[in-house]
Amino acid sequence: MPRTLGVVLAGGTGTRVGGADKGLLPLSGRPLVEHVVARLRPQCAELLVVANRHLNAYARHARVIRDVVGDHAGPLAGIAAALEDVTMQDDEKGAPPFAALLTVPVDCPAPPPDLCARLWSGLAANPGAQCVFVHDGAGPQPLFALYRIDPGMREGLLRSARDALRLHASPSRWHREIGAVAVDFSDSASGFDNLNTPEDFQTFERRSSA
């Protein structure tokens, strides 16, 4: 599989968990972000967390950067930050460039183990597409997405993300603007369940221990 950077989007406000940093809340005895990282690590060449607070805590799990826009500007700010960072990292390290960037939200502890591979198949089937994203059968899941970032197109993708962030900050609308293509994951829809409330955390723990 081509070299892929896995990006965990962890810049939310945690409104429904009392303003806590959701990715650092305990789930089955471990921080939520640790569950996500464990799922992504076998699928990606490297991992990156994008956050806007508690960066030192997140750095225990993967390399971490801050959102390009402060004050919890939403997940598109995190995507733009990752696109900007990957360009700088490739230039500085002299390492083989990443071919794609895979994004997942920090509040989903169990994305499918074949998420990256299946999204790569979606990109291969749509050679003109810059992005493919998950459709879980009930609706789009735009934060689970794979972006083609070949050196020749990543600057244009970053520019369009910045424009969208300034104009509307909606990942779904931005996907429509760049012609993103949905990939069917209806057979593994439960892998995209996210944890929004303390009750969601408790429900996940009960199911995991059953």
Q: What does the pLDDT look like over 154-174, one tens digit per residue?
A: 889 999 999 999 999 999 999
Q: What is the pLDDT of residue 68?
A: 64
For residues 4-25, average pLDDT: 84
CATH number for the domain that contains residue 114? 3.90.550.10
Q: How many domains does the chain have?
A: 1
Q: What is the pLDDT of residue 108?
A: 96
CA distance 120 to 147: 9
At 105, is the secondary structure helix, strand, or coil? strand
H-helix segments, 94-153: 115-125
Q: Between 16 and 157, whose confidence is greater? A: 157
Give the residue numbers spanning the domain of 160.
Answer: 4-209
Question: Tokens in use for 210?
Answer: 């059953």
Partners of 141 in the β-ladder: 134
Q: What is the pLDDT of residue 73?
A: 67
Encode pLDDT of 87-106 as tens digits: 776 555 566 789 999 999 99
Q: What is the pLDDT of residue 13?
A: 65
For residues 24-30, average pLDDT: 95
Question: Cα–Cα–Cα angle for 148, 153, 159, nearest 5°?
Answer: 105
The pTM score is 0.93
For residues 60-64, average pLDDT: 96
At 151, the pLDDT band (50, 70, 90 cuts) reads: confident
Partners of 27 in the β-ladder: 30
CA distance 189 to 177: 25
Helix H or strand E encompassing 70: none
Encode pLDDT of 124-140 as tens digits: 999 999 999 999 999 99
